A and B are shown apart, each in its own frame.
Chain A
Amino acid sequence: MALPELHRFTLPNGLRVVLAPDRSAPVVGVSVHYDVGFRSEPEGRTGFAHLFEHLMFQGSESLEKLAHFRHVQSSGGTFNGSTHPDYTDYYQVLPSAALERALFLEADRMRAPKITEENLRNQIDVVKEEIRLNVLNRPYGGFPWILLPPVLFQTFPNAHNGYGDFTDLENATVDDCAAFFDTYYAPGNAVLTVAGDFDPEGAKALVEKHFGDVPARPVPVRPSFAEAAPKGEIRAEHTDKHAPMPAIALGYRIPDPVTEVDAYLSYLVLAGVLTDGDGSRLQQRLVHQDAIVVDVGAGCGLFGPLEARDPDTFSITAIHPPEITSEQVIAAVDEELLRLAEEGPSEQELAKVTARWVSTMHREHDRLTSRTLGLGSAELLFGQAELLYELPAKLAAVTTDEVAAAAKALRPDARAVLLLKPAQSVEENETAQTADGGTE
């Protein structure tokens, strides 16, 4: 795969900049990744990094509340932001005529966001609705990304709920926001990425024009979030009153994606061998042969692969009918892992995973939003935006022995097992469904 052109430079205030020109369509993507995510939240302020992300859309020195949205959208663009364990991103994708506007908007809120009591209270309400929508009112809400970490990890940064609990959210103050901004949103703690239809020299001048006078501030020393892997199998149960069927999540620790990227990637290939496609090991065994699960999935990182620094998680999840016990499912998974550890996958299994990754990467690059965000997060987390383009070759280099070794390392005596239980028994559940049908 030909490597696309990539330019990078750093402004005197410390802002790192990645430019990835591509003139194939007249659209441009701009993102800013800040090096702070929900792992950096202190105790008593769960959900704060995400709440703060909402506040970054609420006005700045130059723009009133609501103006940010209107300016992006009246330029023909789309926008969003998201909070991850180790970073927070903001992006805009627009017709390329609006490039300067996008840079202005990101620079303005990096320089002087307007944080008010009124906006804070309003966005606490909005975030609570977001949590009701995605977690509290929905079957399998937060499964497994909120529910598995407290089983696998012991320390607060790794184990706590990144969406936050309502009490913590309500206790947030404007002064907390000011402290958070001053600490973590320094230009030297961020990466700006511009991808798509622009001329690199012109874009560089615009970046300097808008971000050049954002004052430098000290960049916080990033703490290590390292903690020991589980010493045994740690089990927990969660009752989900909306779920119609039980579910299982197995969580394992994986190598540090920064210092041991090749080892990490062998787990990414393993995930493909296990659950990608009808011919994959766990689909074949659990869905088609034994028919004991409705669906099964496996992957690196609870937000996706290469989305977090160490410590990161490998997870296997399945939803199964109540007549099947969780032990049956776990035993079948362990058998398949053992078989892979002993015999290894075939060359053809690896070829399938590699080819699908090549096309997945092409398709992600073709969507400007994912390309911009992918380059930005790879630069921020790994100092290596190119990783995005090098991934297919690196995955192709993973050997059958390495995948076998990865399977062997997913040991039953060093993992988290989360069992999600429906609140109702099967019988009650069916009665309730009939009653619903009657009312509707």
Chain B
Amino acid sequence: MSAPTKHRSAEEIGRTALGPRPFPELGEQRAAADMETVDTTLANGLRVIAVRRSSVPMVEVRLRIPFGDPASSSVGSTHSARAEVLANTILTGTATRSRVDVDTELALVGGELDAVVDPERLAFSGNALMSGFDTVLDVLRDVLTGATYPAGEVERERARLVERIRLARSQPNVIAREALQRHLYGDHPFAKEMPEADEVAAVSQEDVRALHSTAVLPRGSVIVVVGDMEPDAAVRAVEGALGGWTGEGTAVTLSPLPVVQGGDVVLVHRPGAVQSQIRLAGRGLVRTDERYPAMQLANLVYGGFFSSRLVENIREDKGYTYSARSHSEFTPGGATLLVDADTASEVTAAALLETRYELGRMGLVPPSESEVDTARRYAIGSLLTATSSQGGLASFLMNLAGLGLDIEWFTGHPRRLAAVTVEQVAAVALEFFAPTAFTGVLVGDADLLAPQLRALGGVTLP
């Protein structure tokens, strides 16, 4: 490399006359300001959580409508396809606003509003300059109570959805996620995150309108507002805009999932892949379980952050992966532990071996005092940084609300984490991180992977 004429060697660079220096102690931590907050339910059944955060003159709005498939199986159900078309067209027309009107009005107040759907919920996410709060609420009111689903918009979005689904299904992580969900949950509607193209093509304007009238319901839904305003005033504004949103019954929550059982990993063939997706899953714990804080720390120690056993082993020691992680996913009525790693084909079997080895080690060589303390301080600190912005706080509170939890859970969580003992973490690690408790899928080029995976065992080959 065209180096300068003279430079120090790496050894010379790595030392100074003074030598290593002591690492500073932590300073005094200032507490976060108490949050002014209101959590209430309107007469129409809509729960409203409003929090004041004045860091910037903005407001963040999140609305969550439970949107489960009332059928117990996705086989023969058109719910997923109708829900997807609904989410993609609900903001495209009302009696008084066209699609462009909606975008223009929001843009002029520095605002945005989006709708997305998954097997559990229909979610609106928006923001605007504080001065545009009423505009965002009025657009929300208009679409919730009077979306018209113009025929032309339904037709175009349907065609576009088919293309977008095709694009999504070419992504390795999407291929892996769909295979994993099917493997874990079979025909349960939770597993169907994306409809098939032919199902989408069959959705009519009338189907979408019918779904709106039966499923877009205030009762069971929750709206979170975080911004530079008095929480009481925010609630009054929400009530003024959405108090007239009514409907028969309660928004539909999904039925509980079958519990994840340990078993073989299923190899899914992706011809020509140069990298594989390893996706393992085991049973987790819900946030309200008294062992959850210990589970959270055990997960961090295993693969939940960079300073974890899994990342230090398969990335920083062996260079098998750029990204490896484990995390809890909260599901209807339960929770799942997920382990993800993407590795080159040549080292996939070796990475799977190490991933399982670290699972086994969690129970047999349980987390040490110092591992637990590192995880604990990270858990408490990252909760603080992740919720220090309006948008971060709004999204976090929305997720909690979806699990039936409130702001008290959030403010009380650092205390619960502080109380966890090393023994409690060890107990959770032995029970939940046992390799035998996990199953999963592996997506990659089977022609390259099969000989080593066959030798390793515990993998079902195609």
Interface residues of A (CB under 8 A from B): 22, 24-27, 42, 44-45, 48, 60-63, 65-66, 69-71, 73-79, 93-101, 104, 108, 111-116, 121-130, 132-133, 136-139, 173-183, 197, 213, 220, 241-245, 276-279, 284, 287-288, 291, 294-295, 319, 321, 348, 351-353, 355-360, 362-363, 365-368, 432-433, 436, 439-440
Contacts A/B (CB < 8 Å), 8 sampled: A93-B385, A95-B29, A122-B317, A294-B160, A321-B163, A353-B107, A356-B110, A433-B166
The answer to whether B3 touches A176, judged by C-beta atoms less than 8 angstroms apart, is yes
- Among the 9-residue stretches B75-83, B137-145, B305-313, the one with 4 or more Cβ atoms under 8 Å from chain A is B305-313
Q: Given the interface contacts A62-B20, A76-B378, A278-B103, does A368 sit within 8 Å of B385 by beta carbon?
A: yes
Determine if B408 is an interface residue (Cβ-Cβ < 8 Å).
no
Q: Tell me, rounded to whole Å, the shortest Cβ–Cβ distance linking A28 to chain B.
A: 9
The docked-state distance in angstroms from the alpha carbon of A63 to that of B389 is: 32
The answer to whether B167 touches A319, judged by C-beta atoms less than 8 angstroms apart, is yes
Interface core residue of B1, B14, B274 (most chain A CB under 10 Å): B1
Determine if B319 is an interface residue (Cβ-Cβ < 8 Å).
yes
The answer to whether A44 touches B100, judged by C-beta atoms less than 8 angstroms apart, is no
Contacts of B163 in A (CB 8 A): 245, 294, 321
Contacts of B164 in A (CB 8 A): 294-295
Contacts of B270 in A (CB 8 A): 436
The answer to whether B14 touches A129, judged by C-beta atoms less than 8 angstroms apart, is no
Contacts of A96 in B (CB 8 A): 27, 29-30
The docked-state distance in angstroms from the alpha carbon of A235 to that of B104 is: 36
- Among the 9-residue stretches B43-51, B168-176, B237-245, B432-440, the one with 4 or more Cβ atoms under 8 Å from chain A is B168-176
Determine if B7 is an interface residue (Cβ-Cβ < 8 Å).
yes
Q: Tell me, rounded to whole Å, the shortest Cβ–Cβ distance linking A226 to chain B.
A: 20
Determine if B156 is an interface residue (Cβ-Cβ < 8 Å).
yes
Produce 1/0 per residue, B16-42, CB < 8 A to A: 101111111111111111000000000
Determine if B84 is an interface residue (Cβ-Cβ < 8 Å).
no
Q: Given the interface contacts A44-B1, A115-B13, A176-B3, does A132 sit within 8 Å of B20 by beta carbon?
A: no
Q: Given the interface contacts A129-B322, A440-B178, does A74 sit within 8 Å of B27 by beta carbon?
A: no
Contacts of A62 in B (CB 8 A): 20-23
Contacts of A76 in B (CB 8 A): 377-378, 380-382, 384-385
In the complex, besides A137-B342, A351-B108, 13 extra interface pairs with C-beta distance below 8 angstroms are A25-B33, A27-B388, A75-B26, A126-B319, A132-B322, A132-B342, A133-B322, A175-B9, A180-B1, A278-B100, A355-B108, A359-B111, A433-B166
Determine if B411 is an interface residue (Cβ-Cβ < 8 Å).
no
Interface core residue of B178, B312, B373, B377 (most chain A CB under 10 Å): B377
Q: Tell me, rounded to whole Å, the shortest Cβ–Cβ distance linking B12 to chain A.
A: 8
Chain A contact surface mostly: helix
Contacts of B390 in A (CB 8 A): 363, 366
Interface core residue of A127, A173, A294, A433 (most chain B CB under 10 Å): A294
The answer to whether A128 touches B344, judged by C-beta atoms less than 8 angstroms apart, is yes
Contacts of B274 in A (CB 8 A): 132, 136-137
Interface residues of B (CB under 8 A from A): 1-4, 7-10, 12-16, 18-33, 54-58, 99-100, 102-104, 106-112, 127-129, 156, 159-160, 163-164, 166-167, 169-172, 175, 178-179, 182, 268-275, 305-307, 312, 315-323, 342-344, 373-374, 377-378, 380-382, 384-385, 388-392, 462
Q: Tell me, rounded to whole Å, the shortest Cβ–Cβ distance linking A388 to chain B.
A: 13
The docked-state distance in angstroms from the alpha carbon of A20 to that of B319 is: 38
The answer to whether B389 touches A368, judged by C-beta atoms less than 8 angstroms apart, is yes
The answer to whether B169 touches A77, judged by C-beta atoms less than 8 angstroms apart, is no
Q: Which one of A24, A26, A27, A101 lies within 8 Å of B23 (CB-CB)?
A: A101
The docked-state distance in angstroms from the alpha carbon of A111 to that of B307 is: 24
Closest to A100 in B: B24
Interface core residue of B100, B343, B381 (most chain A CB under 10 Å): B381
The docked-state distance in angstroms from the alpha carbon of A51 to that of B32 is: 38
The answer to whether A355 touches B107, judged by C-beta atoms less than 8 angstroms apart, is yes
The answer to whether B4 touches A182, judged by C-beta atoms less than 8 angstroms apart, is yes
Q: Given the interface contacts A48-B1, A133-B323, does A78 sit within 8 Å of B385 by beta carbon?
A: yes
Q: Tell me, rounded to whole Å, the shortest Cβ–Cβ distance linking B157 to chain A.
A: 10
The docked-state distance in angstroms from the alpha carbon of A25 to that of B272 is: 49
The answer to whether A24 touches B110, judged by C-beta atoms less than 8 angstroms apart, is no
The docked-state distance in angstroms from the alpha carbon of A60 to that of B16 is: 11
Q: Tell me, rounded to whole Å, the shortest Cβ–Cβ distance linking B176 to chain A.
A: 10
The docked-state distance in angstroms from the alpha carbon of A313 to that of B389 is: 31
Closest to A131 in B: B322
The answer to whether A45 touches B389, judged by C-beta atoms less than 8 angstroms apart, is no
The answer to whether B58 touches A363, judged by C-beta atoms less than 8 angstroms apart, is yes
Q: Tell me, rounded to whole Å, the shortest Cβ–Cβ distance linking B308 to chain A.
A: 9
Q: Tell me, rounded to whole Å, the shortest Cβ–Cβ distance linking A46 to chain B.
A: 11
Closest to B99 in A: A278
The answer to whether A355 touches B103, judged by C-beta atoms less than 8 angstroms apart, is no
Closest to A25 in B: B388
Q: Which one of A291, A366, A433 lies within 8 Å of B156 (CB-CB)?
A: A291
The answer to whether A352 touches B107, judged by C-beta atoms less than 8 angstroms apart, is yes
The answer to whether B129 touches A355, judged by C-beta atoms less than 8 angstroms apart, is yes
The answer to whether B306 touches A73, judged by C-beta atoms less than 8 angstroms apart, is yes
The answer to whether B13 touches A181, judged by C-beta atoms less than 8 angstroms apart, is yes
The answer to whether B10 touches A61, judged by C-beta atoms less than 8 angstroms apart, is no
Contacts of B32 in A (CB 8 A): 25-26
The docked-state distance in angstroms from the alpha carbon of A116 to that of B378 is: 29
The docked-state distance in angstroms from the alpha carbon of A182 to that of B1 is: 13
The answer to whether B55 touches A24, judged by C-beta atoms less than 8 angstroms apart, is yes
Interface core residue of B111, B374, B392 (most chain A CB under 10 Å): B374
The docked-state distance in angstroms from the alpha carbon of A129 to that of B346 is: 11
The answer to whether B7 touches A113, judged by C-beta atoms less than 8 angstroms apart, is no
The answer to whether A42 touches B107, judged by C-beta atoms less than 8 angstroms apart, is no
The answer to whether A98 touches B4, judged by C-beta atoms less than 8 angstroms apart, is no
The docked-state distance in angstroms from the alpha carbon of A175 to that of B384 is: 41
The docked-state distance in angstroms from the alpha carbon of A277 to that of B380 is: 38
Closest to B128 in A: A359
Closest to B54 in A: A24
Q: Tell me, rounded to whole Å, the shortest Cβ–Cβ distance linking A141 to chain B.
A: 10
Q: Which one of A129, A348, A358 lies within 8 Å of B320 (CB-CB)?
A: A129
The docked-state distance in angstroms from the alpha carbon of A141 to that of B355 is: 27
Q: Tell me, rounded to whole Å, the shortest Cβ–Cβ distance linking B185 to chain A.
A: 14
Q: Tell me, rounded to whole Å, the shortest Cβ–Cβ distance linking A289 to chain B.
A: 9
In the A-B complex, the 7 residue pairs with the smallest Cβ-Cβ separation, listed nearest first, are A76-B381, A125-B319, A359-B110, A179-B3, A352-B107, A97-B29, A130-B322
Q: Which one of A66, A351, A362 lies within 8 Å of B316 (CB-CB)?
A: A66
Contacts of B380 in A (CB 8 A): 76
Q: Tell me, rounded to whole Å, the shortest Cβ–Cβ distance linking B66 to chain A.
A: 27
The answer to whether A277 touches B107, judged by C-beta atoms less than 8 angstroms apart, is yes
Q: Given the interface contacts A45-B1, A180-B1, does A69 sit within 8 Å of B306 by beta carbon?
A: yes
Q: Tell me, rounded to whole Å, the shortest Cβ–Cβ distance linking B91 to chain A.
A: 8
Q: Tell me, rounded to whole Å, the shortest Cβ–Cβ distance linking A187 to chain B.
A: 14
The docked-state distance in angstroms from the alpha carbon of A129 to that of B378 is: 26
Contacts of A355 in B (CB 8 A): 107-110, 129
The answer to whether A439 touches B268, judged by C-beta atoms less than 8 angstroms apart, is yes
The docked-state distance in angstroms from the alpha carbon of A181 to that of B321 is: 26
Q: Which one of B10, B268, B377 lies within 8 Å of A440 (CB-CB)?
A: B268
The docked-state distance in angstroms from the alpha carbon of A351 to that of B390 is: 25
Q: Tell me, rounded to whole Å, the shortest Cβ–Cβ distance linking A64 to chain B.
A: 10
Q: Which one of B21, B99, B166 lies within 8 Å of A108 (CB-CB)?
A: B21
